[in-house]
Amino acid sequence: MQNDGSDLFIIILLGFFLMVVMVSFIVIMVIYHRQRQIKNQQKVREIQAEYEKTILNVEKELREDILAYVGRELHDNVGQLLSLAKMYLSSPKLEKVSEGKGMINEIIHEVRALSKSLNLDWVEAISLEDFIQKELKKLETAEFCKVAFHQSGQTLQLEKDKKLVLLRIIQECLNNAVKHAFPKLIEISVDSDSARSVIRVRDDGKGFEYNGQSSGSGIYNLKNRMATIGGEMVLKSAPGKGTEIKLILPNQNP
Partner 1 sequence: MIRIALADDHKMFAKGIASLLEENDDFRIEGIFSNGLELIKFLESNEVDVVLTDMNMPFLDGAGVIESVKRLIPNSKVIVLSMYDEEEIFLKCKKLGADAYVLKNADSDELIYTIKEVNEGTHIMSFQKVLQQNIEDGYSDFYKEKFKLSKRELQLVRMIKQGMTNKGIAENLHLSIHTVESHRKKVHSKLKVSSVAELVKKAIELGI
- Burial class of residue 27 in the structure, from the number of CB atoms within 10 Å of its CB (0-12 exposed, 13-18 middle, 19+ buried): exposed
The rounded distance, in Å, linking the Cα atoms of 155 and 141 is 26
Sign of the torsion formed by the C-alpha atoms of 64, 68, 70 and 74: positive
Q: 33, 34, 53, 75: which one contacts partner 1 (CB under 8 A)?
A: 75
Identify the DSSP state of 212: S
Contact 150, 187 (CB under 8 A): yes
Identify the DSSP state of 118: T
Report if residue 81 touches partner 1, rule: CB under 8 A. Answer: yes
Report if residue 174 touches partner 1, rule: CB under 8 A. Answer: no
Q: Output the CA–CA distances (angstroms, integers) from residue 147 to 173, 190, 204, in the order listed.
A: 14, 14, 11
Report if residue 91 touches partner 1, rule: CB under 8 A. Answer: yes
Q: 62, 70, 82, 114: which one contacts partner 1 (CB under 8 A)?
A: 82
- Measured at the CA of 176, the angle between CA 175 and CA 180, to 5 degrees, comes to 120
Minimum Å gap between C-beta 96 and partner 1 is 7
Report if residue 179 touches partner 1, rule: CB under 8 A. Answer: no
Report if residue 92 touches partner 1, rule: CB under 8 A. Answer: yes
Q: 41, 90, 115, 194: which one contacts partner 1 (CB under 8 A)?
A: 90
Among residues 85 and 229, whose Cβ is nearest to partner 1?
85
Among residues 40 and 80, whose Cβ is nearest to partner 1?
80
With contacts defined by CB under 8 A, name the span among 1-9, 13-21, 38-46, 86-94 that binds partner 1: 86-94
Quick count: other Cβ atoms within 10 Å of Cβ 47? 11
Report if residue 175 touches partner 1, rule: CB under 8 A. Answer: no
Name the strands in the sheet holding 146-153, side by side, starting at the edge strand that comes first in the sequence: 146-153, 185-192, 196-203, 243-250, 232-237
Maximum separation of any 2 CA atoms in the chain, in Å: 136
Q: 36, 39, 45, 96: which one contacts partner 1 (CB under 8 A)?
A: 96
- Under rule CB under 8 A, which residues in 97-136 are in contact with partner 1? 103
Among residues 186 and 222, whose Cβ is nearest to partner 1?
186
Minimum Å gap between C-beta 104 and partner 1 is 13
Q: 54, 55, 58, 88: which one contacts partner 1 (CB under 8 A)?
A: 88
The rounded distance, in Å, linking the Cα atoms of 136 and 158 is 21
Among residues 75 and 116, whose Cβ is nearest to partner 1?
75
CA atoms within 13 A on the CB side of 210: 20
Binding mask 137-156 for partner 1 (x = CB under 8 A): -----xxx------------
Contacts to partner 1 by CB under 8 A: 75-77, 79-84, 86-88, 90-93, 96, 103, 142-144
